[in-house]
Amino acid sequence: MSRRQFTLPTRSADRPPDDTGCTVLHVDMDAFYASASLLSRPELVGTPVIIGGGGNRGVVLSATYEARRFGVASAMPMSRARRLCPQATVIAPDHHLYSQISAAVMATFDTITPLVEPLSLDEAFLDVAGSVRRLGNPARIGQLIRDTIHDEQGITCSVGVAPTKFVAKLASGLAKPDGLVVVPRDEVVTFVQQLPVGALWGVGDKTEETLLRLGLHTVADIAHTPLDTLRRALGDSAGPHLHDLAWGRDPRGVEPVRRERSIGSDETFEFDVDDPAHIHRQLLKLSDRTAARVRAAGMLGRTVTIRVRFSDFTTITRSRTLRDPTDVSREIYEMARSLYDALGLQRARIRLVGVRMEGLVEGAGAPIQGLLDEPEQGWREADRAVDRASARFGAGSVRPASLISDAERRRPDAGRGDMHH
């Protein structure tokens, strides 16, 4: 379906779309396999490139937008693609590279929300309802995802922001390439009903032929067709399903797929950092954040993993398994700092650090061993008190003293608002 076949209602430039309640995001990498392949061939950026088997019996895996303008499309026989765009450069697929980048992209999604539903290596739905308080409104979260993937992976993605999965996926298609589109709740019906019937989820060639024979060419036509007529023509399941979609109704939620049971958080620095003390503070902040998420999920973690990305984008990870599972911020930080210090990086320039808890188990009934230097009330109880304060006063209202900036310490009201431990 051409992007020109549907549009959003026009609005003034100073009136951004209202994304209230638009907590479903569809994130789709732009020409993923082609973009990933060009990371090592920057001289080909902006030129027609086809990813596929070298022989004429192969098929096209992907193509740059420059090649797509000549009619080249995924799954097309290579022989036809070469005829359509003889000047294109053909590159053999690198599936190991694609898997690596996809895993990194999915890890980025996991830092946003645990509700991630991958559809393939290069696209996923995210439910960000639980992330709004921490990260901002849905459109801002979508932009954060786009910026992070571009900065860390060197590729672009398009994001659709909407109240439902169906509309979010349509919006990301409209946003391509390298864009973000919000479909406000009160514009969903107008947006959907201008579409051709073939745009509806689940309408294949055969169903489209049936609809066209009934004289139904647009989604609006389906919306205003009696439900009994649709049932007779399409069946008891498909008829009501398409009728619901025609009115923008899509009750399906984002269904997370657990690739690996882990919870973590990353921090990409605005500028490369070479100060170990600064890295230690970031590890402390990330350990606190990760531990809070582990506790919120009712879990305990057995393995602490750190991720370090250098200025040249080289990335390393180090892990160590604890004797007993934990959700205690102090324990996680001490292990994360130990793993980092063992690297002996001296003054290496660092772009990103991350802390992750893996090997998660249900918190109830898991063995918990107290620390020898634990205060009488216990670090765990202190963490619970922090969680309660954060829930009441907002995230970040209680922080380790070492994370308080000099400017905050000098404030006249210092000590009366935030609480430190």
Instruction: Say which range, 115-124, 225-234, 409-418, has the weakest mean pLDDT.
Output: 409-418
| 163 contacts 122 by C-beta, under 8 angstroms | no
- Looking at domain 262-420, does it have CATH number 3.30.1490.100? yes
Q: Is the pLDDT reported for residue 188 higher than 90?
A: yes
> Would you say the pTM of this structure is higher than 0.75?
no
Percent of the chain with pLDDT over 70: 80
Question: Could you tell me which CATH number the domain at 32-96 has?
Answer: 3.40.1170.60
Q: Do domains 32-96 and 195-246 have the same CATH topology?
A: no
CA angle 124, 137, 283 (to 5 degrees): 75
Which residues are marked as active site?
Answer: 123
What rounded mean pLDDT belongs to the chain?
A: 83
pLDDT digits (tens, 9 = 90+) for 255-287: 886 544 678 888 888 788 999 999 999 999 999
- Looking at domain 195-246, does it have CATH number 1.10.150.20? yes
For 135, other C-beta atoms within 10 Å of its C-beta total: 16
Instruction: Give mean pLDDT, residues 60-88.
Output: 92
* pLDDT at site 347: 80
4-8, 101-105, 126-130, 237-241 — which one is most confidently predicted on average? 126-130
Question: Could you tell me which CATH number the domain at 18-31+102-189 has?
Answer: 3.30.70.270
pLDDT digits (tens, 9 = 90+) for 279-309: 999 999 999 999 988 888 778 888 999 999 9
The structural domains of the chain, with segments of one domain joined by +, span 18-31+102-189, 32-96, 195-246, 262-420
Annotated binding site for Mg(2+): 28, 122
| 110 contacts 124 by C-beta, under 8 angstroms | no
| 5 contacts 196 by C-beta, under 8 angstroms | yes
- What confidence category does residue 356 fall into, taking pLDDT thresholds of 50, 70 and 90? very high
Instruction: Give mean pLDDT, residues 193-203.
Output: 85
Instruction: Give mean pLDDT, residues 192-221.
Output: 88
Q: Is the pLDDT reported for residue 6 higher than 80?
A: no
Token reading at 102: 């996809």
* pLDDT at site 385: 59
Q: Is 341 helix (H, G, I), strand (E, B) or coil?
A: helix
| 220 contacts 191 by C-beta, under 8 angstroms | no
Q: Is the pLDDT reported for residue 378 higher than 60?
A: no
Instruction: Say which range, 61-65, 166-170, 383-387, has the weakest mean pLDDT.
Output: 383-387
For 192, other C-beta atoms within 10 Å of its C-beta total: 27
10-14, 191-195, 200-204, 393-397 — which one is most confidently predicted on average? 191-195
Closest listed residue to residue 168, CA positions, set 179, 185, 183 = 183
Q: Is the pLDDT reported for residue 244 higher than 60?
A: yes
